[in-house]
Structure 1
């Protein structure tokens, strides 16, 4: 599932220029939620997961890959189904164990001291390719090891407020736990964050 470009393979979760789309946002009453919440002008039932609005992207991987941009739906799919962030295939070496390999850099929605990350797992075969793409960020090594993908914990999102003519951006790049329904109603989620259990650092040998 990894896309190929003239510069090599592009990770499955990467967004491409042709997939980035802007849709007007509004606040409107939702009978399902029983509250006023952020919405697209023309909403679809699939726009919400865990009570939060997901960022919309195209799905054809056209144009150039956008450095640092993550495709929300593909990232979400990796987190929920245990897929490799690089190739998009199942990442668990032993599906029954629930244990996955991870290559985690400090980044949006990640706090390993508190045990959560927005980085999907990486299958063992793709670890070298993932390290070759991002060997060091900010002078620090990534965390490499295994952990149990525990459960969805939060979203990395932008929050909005009501403004004249529509919704106005309020805060960018904040972590919102999934039990904070009031903030989720005002948020546009870009990444799903999961909690990890039983982390064991080490290189696959």
Structure 2
């Protein structure tokens, strides 16, 4: 989430810990006449949206990695509308709308759908995030609410096989559309990207 540990922001729900990093026994397998990235001991639940997802622990203990996002918690936030700071619902119970902080300017056009890999931020923690997160201080933030959102892509690392048949990374952290089944078979997903609908700026 940030490049250095902030002094005020609590340990954000989506931030990763060093002790949660796991070895990834990657391999390729043939499925329906096509090569697909897998784990040597893969489980069916490790695929979602047609792509293999990065493994990670879930203890939330040890040395926090402020600049890294935890894959499973980020995906959970995106799919369930949870706050990236506290991990609780970011849905306003009165309006049903979801609070979001975007780090890129929208050029005044809130009518267009907006893709993002950043999870929502509940109203209770918007001010804290804006004050304490260095990334949000560097990039002019836009605070808004949305009525709905749809998964459209994943942030991935792409893999191939070298001359010796070893699995090697060939592209790092690139967005791939969920409709691109060819690239998804070579990919290890690390974050879910959603398209935000009906954006409305928050005044004040």
Q: Extract structure 1 runs of 4+ deviating beyond 6 A.
A: none
Please give the root-mean-square deviation of Cα atoms over the aligned residues, in Å. Answer: 2.2
Q: Is the 1:25–1:166 Cα contact (8 Å) retained in structure 2?
A: no
Q: Is the 1:135–1:141 Cα contact (8 Å) retained in structure 2?
A: no
Deviation at 1:72, TM superposition (A): 0.5
Structure 1 stretches lacking a partner, 5+ long: 1-5, 107-111
Deviation at 1:139, TM superposition (A): 3.4
Matched positions, count: 191
Residue 198 of structure 1: aligned partner: 198
Q: TM-score normalised to the size of structure 2?
A: 0.85
Structure 1 residues 77 and 66, CA, compared in 2 at 3 Å: closer, same or farther?
same
Deviation at 1:122, TM superposition (A): 0.7
Name the CA distance, whole Å, in 2 between partners of 1:155 and 1:101: 21
Structure 1 residues 79 and 162, CA, compared in 2 at 3 Å: closer, same or farther?
same
Name the CA distance, whole Å, in 1 between partners of 2:145 and 2:62: 34
Name the CA distance, whole Å, in 1 between partners of 2:47 and 2:54: 9
Q: Spell out, residue by residue over 1:103-134, the C-alpha distance to the aligned partner (whole angstroms, 9 max, x if none).
A: 1224xxxxx97610001111100112211332
- Residues 5-154 of structure 1: pairs in structure 2 closer than 5 A: 9-30=10-31, 35-94=34-93, 97=96, 99-106=97-104, 115-137=114-136, 139-154=138-153
Name the CA distance, whole Å, in 2 between partners of 1:95 and 1:179: 35
Structure 2 stretches lacking a partner, 5+ long: 1-6, 105-109
Structure 1 residues 62 and 167, CA, compared in 2 at 3 Å: closer, same or farther?
same
Q: Is the 2:154–2:192 Cα contact (8 Å) retained in structure 1?
A: yes
Q: TM-score normalised to the size of structure 1?
A: 0.85
Deviation at 1:55, TM superposition (A): 0.7
